[in-house]
Structure 1
């Protein structure tokens, strides 16, 4: 099997030298095992600089043959506007809650779209059915949707390595940007996040921005099923552990210890970025020294800052502020034979970083906001005598509660945490770290990637089952196969007509009424409308058409040859007044909702309510009513933006059986709601059942929307006219 990894940058520099750190390093062990099993890997990404047109063909061949990579060529102006513009001036600060740093530009968003399109074009050139495509991170939010449009059955994962913000933050982005982004992500079979919180924030954002609900983390959108889930990224535990126990590593660690004169080493390793809270960390260390002067000359902060976005003015300003703060602390507290902070502005390779971890007593990982932070995990598995001080705002905190968790905005708590960590006794350190390292061993980067593949494949299988039911309204499969009489049953709302904000606005187009009349001109055709609507509404809408009308989910029936309604069951009605009062209380609490009363049912509508408030109230109502419905003469059912309370004995399935003639028939049933599943369930295998919409069903086939139903009616008329 071939894996196509897609990320903004390739795992090698434009000149072929390997990239240090990042996704390439994190995935190396998984990719090695993937290849050793006989699978192929291709990595798609931007090489990091503009390659002249005349060199692109030879460059592509070299990169693929030597490194297994496929470069995406972006003109320098486009790359700057896409990467430095929308990615790093809009998405990055917004998703990390630095809203004051955000810029919202249509120009950079157009560049973002164009860059994602360039990635899609490159993948289209070599993608083959059966490939697994794994798209990474916020630079490529639109790519899954683009690829899904080109290859409907593509096996596609998307993983977000940064936090996903709360809805209140996400909606600060202009609607035209955020809608496109959400639709783009939903092109994936699986959307992965580092934590359960990020997953829930995403699902709530879908509800609030697009009105899309989820069923246990599964989203139905544009006739496609997408699974969401939390998959905390791991590290190559064995690699770090084995090297940390090696002779070479011990020698380097011992030499560091000699140079530091057995000082308690406090370590900080971060990329230069405002989200990392480096300046705040320095302030906390300064406060620690002020409040604990007896630790002066007994400890040392080793600060490693990896250069990042050195050409951006705001990062240059941040770097100057950090440099000045380090100078001020060293000047205030340093002595001739002791410097409080050892500062290194450069990246460290794996072979030098692990000895630093091994020799560290206190590890400070205190970002303002971080998707995961693998440094915390690397530190823990590289030694057993150090204490991790971890920001509760980092994704890793959900996995590592035994660390000392701090709020990076609270200088005093950080200073206190440094003191607690530096004084912690070895037995407690060992006890905490043993629990965390065991947990990390069970969730290595290899198992992380394998879980994502398994979950993606599972989602794709569900999608295949989901999509095989989708059928064209003009398909011959949906035409009568025999000369037996034809009986067609339609639901009303969501089947013959789209949903509207208010129920009385959902009326059929004149063309639909005319087509139903024309269909009834054929002697062997009978039609029934089985709906939750009341008698008066159905009678008014279909007054001119001789069809069966069934109101209130099977409570009432009016045959085509009669002007009278017949009750299909006997009612007690004792439950209604009490339940109506209950529903009315929810109506008062939820603006935009209302209660509709029918003869044998009550319906609470929340289509016009705030999506979040309405959905939460609906769940609460379902829970409360379900507890009292047993042996109370009624049952509760969730519908499309409604909660319906109906009397026992009603139901579309039983009503359909009662009105069907006792003869051999071609039966067709169309419905969109959970209430229509009753009809699908009651019928035998010979009946053609069609679900309208995206939700799960036991129906044999699926239409997209009511327009497909109208097309099917027209196609049936054409078929009968040909048969004459």
Structure 2
């Protein structure tokens, strides 16, 4: 299998040197394993700024040949608007809960869309059937949907390496932007997050913003099933552990520990989400409250430069520099500096040696997707058995419960954590690290990637709608041609959600001029017979369609009105069940603000489209449970639909009436189109030769699927 891995940045520079970053480092180990397993891979991403436009083709050839890398060239001004604009001024602070730092502009989002399209075009140029496309991180959240449109059957995974925020935070984005992001992600077969919490936040946003429910993390999207799940990213455990046990590492460790002091370590890149200044304040408090530890410990602060050209980051570094100077000035002397400050990147060998030498490490970001430093530190422990102090708001905290978990906003808690770590008995240190090592060793980088691939394949193979295929425009002419070979074509058309888009209030879903003209044009043709078969009342249908020469069937088959005729009942009943059920539905109407009860001659409907999505979903399940328990031998059936629950007289239904309608028809083609549960009876009852079409999402007995009512209208226009 060939993997096309897509991320914002390539793992190599234009000069072929490795780039620094957790994603590039972590995935490089996985790709080594991938290659050894006999697979191929290509990595698509931005190579960094290019000094000259000349030589791009040669650079592209060199990167592909030597590094399996496909560069995406983006003009510098556009890249700045995309990366420094929408990515890092909007998404990064918002997803890390820094709402005061979040800047939202439509121009930067337009640049974000444009760059995602550029990436899609680049992937399209190399894609082959059977490839696995794996898109990474917040820079490319629109990409899966663009690729899905180009390649409907492609295998696409997406993984978000930063937190996904709560709905209350996510909706800071404008309606257009937040909807576009969610729809973009839903182009994937699988959407992966580091923790279950992030997954639940995402699913809640999908429900509340797009109105799409999920079943245990499986989301129905245009005839596909999308899996949203948690996949905590691992590390190459053996790489860290093996080097930590080498003689070279032990020599480096010995040099770091020559003064025999206890070492408190902090390693992070410069970023406001990491809480570095808070750590310094906490260390200051620790020294103040525990004077016995002065000259017996040292704080090694390693900060990797990041986004050095951005003013806020420069100001942050200045504040850190000043705090380091104050602490060293307040507590230090000629023989002891409390803080050893290093503002630079470190090699893998040096970093593991510092991990191995330290008695504890502070990993206390305000918010973090995962934080692999915590796992690298544990994997690097040998004799020292250093203790991990970890922020409870880092993604890693859900896995690493044996660490000392602290609130990153509480400097007293962090200071207490330092004291507990430095005074912890050796047996306790060994016990904690033993559990952590086993877990990190098992759930390593290869396990993480293999689980994502496995569930991506599961999402594709377990398509719940495999019998219903999307009706492509290329198929429309063939259907029309087949219909023309018959004496007449009969159209059974549902109304709400099929001819007309669903509205929050049913009374607002009146037929547009476009719909009326379309039906009028079709009905004029002698070879067409039009039947609107709806759950609507006969009063509604007659008020809008009475002047058209078409058949009207109301309440799912209870009433039938032929052109220029009166309504005729197809069913007789006392409706003895209605009074009891109406009382129950009235209770739910009172309980759920925005919901309401609609009463028809032979049915009752509880609508919850206008209710709070979560409340509506919760109480609809509760109501269904109650109704199913009392429906046996009670004269009615229960039909859950699109934001409705319909209770209908037993024996009514579209399936029965379409058979009655077709009894005397010969040499006809039948086309039936509907979007709801009630239409499934019609699809099942019609002759096998019928063209049955499901509109929108969900399981169906229909042969084909169209996405929305606009497509239905376009399809019908082709007949005239």
Under a length normalisation based on structure 1, what TM-score does the superposition of the two structures give?
0.90
2:264 corresponds, among 263, 266, 277, to 266
In 2, Cα distance between the equivalents of 1:109 and 1:234?
Answer: 32
Q: Is the 8 A contact 1:571 1:600 kept in 2?
A: no
Measure how far apart 1:177 and its partner are: 3.4
Secondary structure of 2:397's counterpart equals helix
Measure how far apart 1:567 and its partner are: 4.7
**Residue in 1 that maps onto 2:243:** 243
* 2:100 paired with 1:100: yes
Q: Which moved more, 1:652-661 or 1:489-498?
A: 652-661
Pair 1:122–1:564, CA change in 2 (3 A): closer
* 2:87 paired with 1:87: yes
**Residue in 2 that maps onto 1:721:** none
Pair 1:84–1:598, CA change in 2 (3 A): same
User: Which whole-Å deviations, capped at 9, do the CAs of 1:698-718 have from their partners, x for residues lacking one?
Assistant: 2111123334444555555x6
Secondary structure of 1:289's counterpart equals helix
**Residue in 1 that maps onto 2:233:** 233
Pair 1:616–1:284, CA change in 2 (3 A): same
* 2:174 paired with 1:174: yes
**Residue in 2 that maps onto 1:299:** 297
In 2, Cα distance between the equivalents of 1:50 and 1:399?
Answer: 41
Secondary structure of 2:55's counterpart equals helix
**Residue in 2 that maps onto 1:607:** 609
**Residue in 1 that maps onto 2:698:** 695
**Residue in 1 that maps onto 2:582:** 580
Q: What residue ranges of structure 2 are gaps of 5+ in the alignment?
A: none
Measure how far apart 1:534 and its partner are: 2.3
In 2, Cα distance between the equivalents of 1:690 and 1:111?
Answer: 38
Q: Is the 8 A contact 2:223 2:470 kept in 1?
A: no
Measure how far apart 1:596 and its partner are: 0.6
Pair 1:654–1:195, CA change in 2 (3 A): farther
Pair 1:422–1:658, CA change in 2 (3 A): farther
Pair 1:466–1:104, CA change in 2 (3 A): farther
User: Which whole-Å deviations, capped at 9, do the CAs of 1:449-506 have from their partners, x for residues lacking one?
Assistant: 1222233334345679488342437242463497587654332222233223322333
Secondary structure of 2:54's counterpart equals helix
User: Which whole-Å deviations, capped at 9, do the CAs of 1:360-407 have from their partners, x for residues lacking one?
Assistant: 222211100101101111122222622222111111112222322211
Q: Is the 8 A contact 1:594 1:606 kept in 2?
A: yes
Q: Which moved more, 1:53-62 or 1:527-536?
A: 527-536
**Residue in 2 that maps onto 1:140:** 140
Q: Is the 8 A contact 2:468 2:701 kept in 1?
A: no
What is the correspondence of 1:376-415 to structure 2 with a 5 Å cutoff? Answer: 376-383=374-381, 385-415=385-415
In 1, Cα distance between the equivalents of 2:715 and 2:105?
Answer: 45
**Residue in 2 that maps onto 1:46:** 46
In 1, Cα distance between the equivalents of 2:264 and 2:554?
Answer: 74
What is the correspondence of 1:98-177 to structure 2 with a 5 Å cutoff? Answer: 98-177=98-177
Measure how far apart 1:31 and its partner are: 0.4
Measure how far apart 1:25 and its partner are: 0.8
Q: Which moved more, 1:216-225 or 1:507-516?
A: 216-225
Measure how far apart 1:659 and its partner are: 5.1
Q: Which moved more, 1:530-539 or 1:366-375?
A: 530-539
1:375 corresponds, among 349, 357, 373, to 373
Measure how far apart 1:56 and its partner are: 1.4
Measure how far apart 1:446 and its partner are: 0.9
**Residue in 2 that maps onto 1:190:** 190
Measure how far apart 1:429 and its partner are: 2.9
What is the correspondence of 1:659-670 to structure 2 with a 5 Å cutoff? Answer: 660-661=662-663, 666-670=669-673
* 2:513 paired with 1:514: no
In 1, Cα distance between the equivalents of 2:113 and 2:489?
Answer: 50
In 2, Cα distance between the equivalents of 1:697 and 1:260?
Answer: 73
User: Which whole-Å deviations, capped at 9, do the CAs of 1:76-102 have from their partners, x for residues lacking one?
Assistant: 333333222222122111111111112
Q: Is the 8 A contact 1:528 1:549 kept in 2?
A: yes
In 2, Cα distance between the equivalents of 1:22 and 1:136?
Answer: 12
Pair 1:392–1:690, CA change in 2 (3 A): same
Q: Which moved more, 1:142-151 or 1:263-272?
A: 142-151
**Residue in 1 that maps onto 2:331:** 333
**Residue in 1 that maps onto 2:541:** 538
1:476 corresponds, among 471, 475, 478, to 478
Q: Is the 8 A contact 1:20 1:349 kept in 2?
A: no
**Residue in 1 that maps onto 2:594:** 592
In 1, Cα distance between the equivalents of 2:148 and 2:550?
Answer: 42
* 2:427 paired with 1:427: yes
**Residue in 1 that maps onto 2:566:** 563
Q: Which moved more, 1:407-416 or 1:425-434?
A: 425-434
Measure how far apart 1:564 and its partner are: 4.7
Q: Is the 8 A contact 1:595 1:604 kept in 2?
A: yes
User: Which whole-Å deviations, capped at 9, do the CAs of 1:238-258 have from their partners, x for residues lacking one?
Assistant: 22222223333233323333x
Pair 1:645–1:389, CA change in 2 (3 A): farther
Measure how far apart 1:225 and its partner are: 5.0
Pair 1:248–1:634, CA change in 2 (3 A): farther
In 1, Cα distance between the equivalents of 2:318 and 2:680?
Answer: 66
**Residue in 2 that maps onto 1:315:** 313
Pair 1:285–1:619, CA change in 2 (3 A): farther
User: Which whole-Å deviations, capped at 9, do the CAs of 1:500-547 have from their partners, x for residues lacking one?
Assistant: 33223334422233245335x34xx76544322223333444435676
Pair 1:260–1:21, CA change in 2 (3 A): farther
Q: Is the 8 A contact 2:14 2:59 kept in 1?
A: no
In 2, Cα distance between the equivalents of 1:198 and 1:135?
Answer: 18
Secondary structure of 1:449's counterpart equals helix
**Residue in 2 that maps onto 1:351:** 349
In 2, Cα distance between the equivalents of 1:532 and 1:362?
Answer: 67
User: Which whole-Å deviations, capped at 9, do the CAs of 1:613-660 have from their partners, x for residues lacking one?
Assistant: 444443444345445545555443321122223344444334544554
Q: Is the 8 A contact 2:362 2:389 kept in 1?
A: yes
**Residue in 1 that maps onto 2:72:** 72
User: Which whole-Å deviations, capped at 9, do the CAs of 1:285-340 have from their partners, x for residues lacking one?
Assistant: 22222222233333322221111112222112111211221222222223443332
Pair 1:268–1:647, CA change in 2 (3 A): farther
Measure how far apart 1:132 and its partner are: 2.1
Secondary structure of 2:346's counterpart equals coil
Q: Which moved more, 1:124-133 or 1:652-661?
A: 652-661
Pair 1:427–1:542, CA change in 2 (3 A): same
Q: Which moved more, 1:549-558 or 1:501-510?
A: 549-558
In 2, Cα distance between the equivalents of 1:29 and 1:435?
Answer: 24
Secondary structure of 2:77's counterpart equals helix
Q: Is the 8 A contact 2:26 2:235 kept in 1?
A: yes
Aligned length: 711
2:287 corresponds, among 282, 286, 289, to 289
Q: Is the 8 A contact 1:515 1:713 kept in 2?
A: no
